[in-house]
Amino acid sequence: MASALDELWELGHDRVALARAGRLAENEAVGAPTGIMDQLAAMLGRADAAVFLDCRSLESEVVDLGFREQGLDMLVIDTGVTHAHATGGYRERRAACERGAAVMGVTALRDLSLDDLARAAELFDDVTFRRVRHVVTENQRVLDAVDALRAHGAGAIGDLLLASHASMRDDFEISIPELDTAVETAVAAGAIGARMTGGGFGGAAIALVPSESAKDVTDAVTDAFAASGFSAPRCFTVTPSDGARRDG
């Protein structure tokens, strides 16, 4: 919408400014204390590539994924479980991170490294420490994933995806049984890696799968959901594409 209005009204805003407007709308109008990752990904995306984003400076780099060359697909497993970021757990997790940063004497948890976790363990109760540990280790996993993509391509990030999901499940505690089932079943059926995505408490998981295995993984996940008494998931592949643009 921002891109369309910018063109229609000849405002001349750059893509980062439009992403900022999107975040402002979500924070102020919707009341969800979200970041800017989704908006910038939608504005800065490139075909068959990921966006490596610094959410503080808003600097970004395009990192090739190489899905086509490696014969890989990104399978989305939509659990159908709805979640609301404006209330509840998402807001609580953000508040815990802000408290953690304040106690550690930094502006944000991104200013900490893995070496700081030993000190954090002495300062916090178990729950707050695990919230902090998730953010610090997840930031390192992002850096490791970028290095792996550049050196070896998307096929090398499977273990990082799984470690990310485990951290969100155990330390940040934002997963749900449906998401855990999706991840575990996808990997057992042949996915290279999988993780929940988004703010948690519902939504979707993603699985990186060999193209020829996409149907097998989909069938396995669908059967596992039925066996667990969950509503049927909606599974579909997605293609990393260029960002917001005029179509036609």
Domain boundaries, the chain: 67-238
Per-residue model confidence (pLDDT) at position 60? 93
* pLDDT of res. 88: 63
Contact present, 43 and 17 (Cβ < 8 Å): no
Residues recognised as catalytic: 38
Strands (E), the chain: 49-53, 60-64, 72-78, 193-196, 204-210, 234-238
Could you tell me the two tokens for 23? 């975040």
pLDDT tens-digit profile, the chain (248 residues):
999 999 999 999 999 999 999 999 999 999 988 889 999 999 999 999 999 999 899 999 999 999 999 999 999 999 999 876 555 687 889 899 999 999 999 999 999 999 999 999 999 999 999 999 999 999 999 999 999 999 999 999 999 999 999 999 999 999 999 999 999 999 999 999 999 998 889 999 999 999 999 999 999 999 999 999 999 999 999 999 999 999 87
CATH topology of domain 67-238: Alpha-Beta Plaits (3.30.70)
Cα–Cα distance, 143 to 67 (Å, whole number): 19
